[in-house]
Amino acid sequence: MAIASWFNFPVRPGRESAGLNFSDLGEQQILSLAIALEEDDARIYNTYADTLAGDYPDTARLFRGMAAEEDGHRHRLIELYRERFGERILLIRRQDVRGFIERKPLWLMQPLDLEKIRAQAEIMEADSRRFYAQAARHTTDAAIRQLLGDLAAEESRHESKAETLGDKFITPGAVRTERQTQRRMFVLQFIQPGLAGLMDGSVSTLAPLFAAAFATHNTWSTFLVGLAAAIGAGISMAFAEALSDDGALTGRGSPVLRGGITGLMTTLGGLGHTLPYLIPQFHIATAIAVAIVIAELGLIAWVRKRYMDTSFGLAVLQVIVGGALVFTVGVLIGNA
């Protein structure tokens, strides 16, 4: 029976006929695989710790403690391997065994989320426990079976040990601090570029859109002007945001992601009051467009209050006054 059926791990397409079955592995191969697994887990936990150290030092200490435990497991496995098989450890990797445990790379978990990392750590411990339990049943050497069984029991207790480490390192005050840091990163990486784009798209496109509307009273021509303004502003804002900084010092995250968010929100902000001009009746289209503009400005004011710690009254004043001025300029130019 393959290990994929024991662990209920899906076998990726193209791997069904590649690699070894777990049932075909000898005790030397099993120990080598266990050593490689512990090395990978310790490395992953240390990577988590290094990644989180700057913004989440208490959680980083938690993962360093878990990495130290994995190193202890590795040392015990190597000592037994040396006694049984000598100094040369077989080079066998997870991908060499069909359907074996796969660890999710850190870059797939971006943007960084503490809950995702902690959940992944729990999955890693559960996977390791199942591996050791099945490997112990598969071996006949008493010392190897005893060690694998002991490690299975220790992995089953690792979650409670992690909670103990969490109680020691992650105090309520530290949790509050980390949540505040996480919120700040979310605001920097998503809310700020999205809000900048929405404000630019909603406000800056008002003048050309309504100037064209009142100058031509032609809804299709007005729609084309608004569409061009929204897309053009989106492209411009995307490049401006992406090239503003690389996020390394400011903590604002990937410039490509920020630029994409800004450009998308800019385009959507401009399209919101442009789409009504697909309606042939000029006055109906204009009334709907004005109502959408009011809704957009209200949404911007709410986001500023919710995430930027701006009072709602001040946010409304800033946004409404600015939007009203741009709208007035567009109407005056269109009626000139």
Domain end (from 170, 191, 223): 170
**Are 321 and 304 part of one and the same domain?**
yes
Q: How far apart are CA 297 and CA 178, in angstroms?
A: 32
**Are 146 and 24 part of one and the same domain?**
yes
How far is it between the farthest Cα atoms of the chain? 95
Three-state SS at 97: strand
**Are 166 and 223 part of one and the same domain?**
no
Alpha-carbon dihedral 92, 93, 96, 99, rounded to 10 degrees? 140
- Give the total number of structural domains in the chain: 2
**Are 235 and 314 part of one and the same domain?**
yes
Check: CB of residue 297 under 8 Å from CB of residue 320.
yes
Domain end (from 132, 148, 170): 170
**Are 132 and 107 part of one and the same domain?**
yes
Residue 165: is its pLDDT beyond 90?
no
pLDDT in tens, 16-47: 434 677 777 888 988 998 898 899 889 888 98
Which whole number is the average pLDDT over 120-143?
83
Query: CB under 8 Å to 102, separation ≥6 — which residues?
Result: 9, 94
- Please, which contacts does 275-284 make with residues 24 or more away whose CB atoms are closer than 8 Å? 275/223, 277/209, 277/213, 277/219, 277/220, 277/222, 277/223, 277/226, 278/219, 278/223, 279/219, 280/219, 281/219, 282/213, 282/217, 282/218, 282/219
Three-state SS at 25: coil
Domain end (from 130, 148, 170): 170
Looking at residue 49, its pLDDT comes to 86
**Are 15 and 143 part of one and the same domain?**
yes
**Are 18 and 100 part of one and the same domain?**
yes
Residue 114: is its pLDDT beyond 70?
no
Q: What is the CATH number of the domain that holds 118?
A: 1.20.1260.10
Which whole number is the average pLDDT over 171-199?
71
**Are 47 and 166 part of one and the same domain?**
yes
**Are 56 and 113 part of one and the same domain?**
yes
pLDDT: is 307 or 230 the higher one?
230
**Are 86 and 207 part of one and the same domain?**
no
What phi and psi values does residue 62 have, to the nearest 5 degrees?
-60, -45
Task: Tell me the pLDDT band of 167, cut-offs 50, 70 and 90.
Answer: low
**Are 124 and 202 part of one and the same domain?**
no
Q: Which domain holds residue 240?
A: 176-334
Sign for the pseudo-dihedral over CA of 120, 108, 22, 71: negative
Residue 260: is its pLDDT beyond 70?
yes
**Are 196 and 288 part of one and the same domain?**
yes
pTM score, whole prediction: 0.49
Q: Of the ranges 14-23, 116-125, 210-219, which one carries the lowest mean pLDDT score?
A: 14-23
